[in-house]
Chains A and B, each alone.
Chain A
Amino acid sequence: MRYDSITEAIGNTPLVRIDPAVHGLRNIDLYAKLEMLNPFGSVKDRPAWHMARPHLEADTGGEGTVVELSSGNTAKALALLAGMHRLRFKSVTNRMRVPEIKELLLLIGAEIEELPGRSECLDPTDTDDPLTHFHRALSDPGSTYLHTDQYFNPRNVEAHAEGTGPEIVKDLDGRVPDWFIACVGTAGSSTGVAKVLREHDPRVRVLGLVAHKSDFIPGIRTMDEVHEVGLFDPATYDTIESVTSDEAIDGMITLIRRCGLLSGPTGGAAYEGAVRQLRYADAELEGTGQRRTAVFIVCDRAESYLSYVRQRRPELLGRTDRGRSAVAVTDAEARAEGRVIDVHEARRWCAEGDPRPLVVDLRSPHAYAALHIEGSVNIVDEVFEDLLRGGLPFSKRTPVLLACPVGEKSLRFAAALTRMGHPDVRSLAGGIVAWRDAGAPLVRE
């Protein structure tokens, strides 16, 4: 298909049936609305474009900054749209908890402002929350901010009422599904779709999913947080249920490994929440000969959430051991096999040794630059660790003095090198700290 602008590719996403062998529902057809196939990668492409369009199409002369409170997909879409119109984009957030998304936003050219944490020494009369400052800055006279305001902007809902909702009805041959299941973030997609479906058939049941209160699922708010959303109206939902991050990841894995859908955790939460809820209805339908349909939204793709998965379920990413490692030397082995040398002897060795030892400082380059033993070379511990596996830049005949801050890491490396057949490797006892405390000279870069 040929387009003049990528924005024309937003919407008209596929509705894909989930194989009943996967979800096990015998009387209900479950469909996934693949919003992850929007061009910028998520369900937020629709509202981002719909909200920003009037601003972007007005003649700004390349002046101004689009701002939004977003930690993820809305920010991503708006940043790309702003870039296309030679505007800047700024995201203000306290929820930037997934590092890949932050990096992706920086790559796109977004500016990110992270709000401070809660006050530790609380002043209850100070009700000036950071968002108040944000809104004040927006309303400054002369401000060139274009605030899309996704949590309150009716165009967020409209984007789905005009797009997502009618597409679902059309793809179901003009029928409305019996259930619609969506995760609640800004409440835009659930409110917009629910509105359209109810207009067609008021019998549709809408399930809203929120995150378990102490939990974190990207793109979903908790039960308390949804009440801060201007677009959220409890009457939109027949039921509101909570899901955990564990369930979200379970659902995501099912969609990825069984259905060929490269869904992120938000889609996983929707799937898992849907199946959990529909199981009861499915049991009631048993034997009645009736069939029902249900639709849930797959919000975005998996790639940006690897660290999210790593943090919660490292086994899914098959974390394995990495061969010979100084870390593999236990404390007891280090003490038994590593040779140490005290500051006094080490100074003599460095001055009079024949040959003199190579002094390796294992601290970070910044600390090394600030103060180090004269004549020492700097190989930071992480690099040294890699060199142990990949090959060392000195011969076994070279006597080596290893130094770290307190003589602990250097002892492990000394033990590891001794095991590898280096005959004369010693660890500076007490490290650079002991060296300094003994009044031995340290130099700056």
Chain B
Amino acid sequence: MDAPLYLRPRVEPPLAALLADGPFLHSLADGLGSPLNVLLPEAVATNAARFRAVYRRHRLTGRVYFAHKANRSSALLRRLAAEDPAAVGVDVASTEELRHALGCGFTGDRIMATGPKDAAFLWLAARVGATVNLDSPGELERLSALVRAHGLGRVAVLVRLSGFEHTTGNGGAGTRLLSRRSRFGTPVRDMEELLSALEHNADIVEFAGAAYHLDTTGVDEKARALEQCVLFMDECRARGLAPHTLDIGGGFGVGYVAEAEDWERWTTALTEAVLGVRPPMTWRGHGYGLRNEGGTVRGATALYPAYRPTAGPGYLDEILSLPAPVLGRPAATLLLEHLHDLYIEPGRSLVDQCGLSLARVLDVRPADTDAGHHLVHLAMNAGDMSLEEHGVLVDPVLVPRDETAATGDGEAVGVYLTGNLCLEGDLITRRLVFLPRLPQAGDLLAFANTAGYAMDFRAHHAQRQPVARTVAVERRGDTWRWCPDEDYWPITPMGGAVG
């Protein structure tokens, strides 16, 4: 058999303690079924505090907006609503998310409306005094028309910029730093139209500042965009506008895999498997974007960098510390010196370590007798735990039904995790997953760190399979307390009476 290629998950204290309590996880899944999502609302508050600490270190003011789209949970939103109103807000991308945020206790001034917006979304955002993150001049026209027609108050707006590589003065003559094309935002070179519309509608909209969100892990691209926004806001000031806020979006990242070594061994093995110099390690030889052309590997791995030495607050710190390409001062100093507030919209990174997804093992059978591989059939499908869909590869944790049996037999085994849909393609991951021993029917697999985009983003009712229930849990002394996600309030002791 091949040496096991693990991708062991990074788990920190509250989540680690939860994973270690097998009987509790089994009792939850016994009562509530599989799949099941388990959330730790306290962890989201801890993460918000870590981001705030980076603000403090750089003496910056402004809010951390949770990107609601990362998770539908009420518990997470309500826990964040209980944080300092000046420090924590929520970024909503649909009318329903906006309604949910209001219902969870966020006042309108703590809400940022982003993404594609229809009339109802714009009206409700304007009505409750949310900040509207404008995508285009057309959206500004529609918003202004609504505000005028319905006598709504003045609305705070940010303008989302894009296309930074096309402007001049980006890092010296002769150098062009390319960026992926985005469908969102207004290119910097087309800002004139938007600016004159802002001036024209100054009685209707308050131009609060600029925003960007770049889909990249590259800090240099982000530092360049940040500086160009500062320069842009300066031009705005020169023509009499008074922007005071820069929203740098999200994308701070999460480290899913604990050890760099695991990640490096696995990705090297993938390259070798694609070249055919080692046995396939994926279902039907899937290459995750790599292909073999005459002995040379072509293509790029469509994988999230699952091991990240710096992610989340540390990554924000890195961006803020990076010298701006033109003005030379660190990004944080630029913001501070120009008296700008900083807004960020973390999603995935704000719910890092905030939850897990449980799946019951239904059946185990041999898949490849020579290699000793097995198929492990789970009461869950790829929509219920969509890390794979986001290119994140990380091992689940085996939570045996009978813990005494687990200690006896420690032979690692390679398995393919198959879902509960009657569909060839329904694999939880196309990767051969190594577990410390062969699971048995009745055991649970716990997928750690699924609160960001993986838990409910793609869950569906196809084939009338059940969608996961979600519960919030909290450690009280030696025991865990739980309640349904929708029943969680930050004032309620779980599993007991209101104090």
Interface, chain A (partner B; CB < 8 A): 102, 105-106, 109-122, 124-127, 129-131, 213-214, 223-224, 227-230, 232-234, 363-364, 366-367, 370-371, 405-406, 408, 432-433, 436, 444
Contact = CB atoms under 8 A, between A and B. Distances in A.
B338 A370 contact: yes
A120 B217 contact: yes
A344 to B, nearest CB: 19
B498 interface: no
Closest 8 pairs (CB-CB, A-B) = A117-B218, A367-B337, A129-B300, A120-B251, A122-B391, A363-B337, A405-B336, A117-B216
14 contacts: A105-B174, A118-B305, A121-B390, A124-B289, A125-B302, A126-B302, A213-B268, A224-B268, A366-B337, A405-B59, A405-B333, A405-B339, A408-B59, A432-B339
A106 B175 contact: yes
B340 to A, nearest CB: 10
Nearest to A120: B251
B297 interface: yes
A11 B215 CA distance: 45
Contacts of B172: 106
Given A224-B267, A405-B337, A127 B295 contact: no
Interface stretch (B176-184, B395-403, B475-483): B176-184
Nearest to B254: A120
B296 A115 contact: no
B175 A370 contact: no
A232 B298 CA distance: 13
B264 interface: yes
Contacts of B333: 364, 405
Contacts of B61: 433
B404 to A, nearest CB: 40
Contacts of A102: 175
Nearest to A126: B302
B140 to A, nearest CB: 24
B339 A113 contact: no
A366 B234 contact: yes
Contact of B237 (A114, A115, A444): A444
A213 B176 CA distance: 28
Given A117-B218, A122-B302, 20 more contacts: A109-B174, A113-B178, A116-B180, A116-B221, A117-B217, A119-B217, A120-B251, A122-B304, A127-B300, A129-B300, A130-B178, A224-B271, A227-B297, A232-B296, A364-B334, A366-B234, A367-B338, A405-B59, A432-B337, A436-B339
Given A118-B218, A227-B275, A405-B59, A370 B174 contact: no
B313 interface: no
Given A118-B216, A227-B275, A124 B237 contact: no
Interface in B385-421: 389-391
A131 B178 CA distance: 12
Nearest to A235: B295
Contacts of B59: 405-406, 408
Q: What is the interface of chain A mostly: helix, strand, loop, or mixed?
A: loop
Find the residue from B59, B220, B295, B337 having the highest chain A CB count within 10 A.
Answer: B337
Given A228-B297, A364-B329, A110 B237 contact: no
Interface string B298-337: 1110111100000000000000000000011100011011
A231 to B, nearest CB: 9
Contacts of B267: 224
A230 B293 CA distance: 9
A120 B336 CA distance: 27
Contacts of A432: 337, 339
Nearest to A405: B336
A126 B338 CA distance: 39
B137 interface: no
A228 B297 CA distance: 5
A233 B357 CA distance: 44
B339 to A, nearest CB: 6
Nearest to A127: B289
A406 B336 contact: yes
Contacts of B53: none
B338 A230 contact: no
Find the residue from A110, A118, A213 having the highest chain B CB count within 10 A.
Answer: A118
Interface in B351-391: 389-391
A168 B304 CA distance: 45
Given A106-B175, A370-B237, A405-B336, A118 B217 contact: yes
Contacts of B271: 224, 227
A364 B336 CA distance: 11
A370 B234 contact: yes
A364 B334 CA distance: 8
Nearest to A102: B175
Interface string B200-220: 000000000000000111111
A124 B299 CA distance: 12
A121 B237 CA distance: 33
Contacts of B297: 227-228
Contacts of B389: 124
Contacts of B221: 116-117
A112 B174 contact: yes
B253 A120 contact: yes
A367 B333 CA distance: 10
A121 B337 contact: no
A124 B215 contact: no
Given A117-B221, A213-B264, A224-B268, A127 B299 contact: yes
B327 A111 contact: no
B20 to A, nearest CB: 30
A314 B61 CA distance: 34
Contact of A444 (B179, B238, B304, B336): B238
Contacts of B178: 113-116, 130
Contacts of A130: 178, 180
A331 B327 CA distance: 27
Nearest to A152: B296
Find the residue from B296, B328, B333, B334 having the highest chain A CB count within 10 A.
Answer: B296
Contacts of A114: 175-178, 220
B55 to A, nearest CB: 12
B293 to A, nearest CB: 9
A86 B238 CA distance: 43
B165 to A, nearest CB: 9
Given A106-B174, A127-B300, A405-B336, A364 B218 contact: no
A118 B179 CA distance: 10
A105 B172 CA distance: 12
Nearest to A362: B337
Find the residue from A114, A432, A444 having the highest chain B CB count within 10 A.
Answer: A114
Contacts of B175: 102, 106, 111-114
A215 B390 CA distance: 26
Contact of A364 (B180, B219, B337): B337
Contacts of B86: none
A106 B288 CA distance: 37
Contact of B180 (A110, A112, A119): A119
Contacts of A213: 264, 268
Interface string B129-152: 000000000000000000000000
A408 B57 CA distance: 12
Contacts of A122: 302-304, 390-391
Nearest to A111: B174
Contacts of B231: 366
Contact of A116 (B179, B260, B303): B179
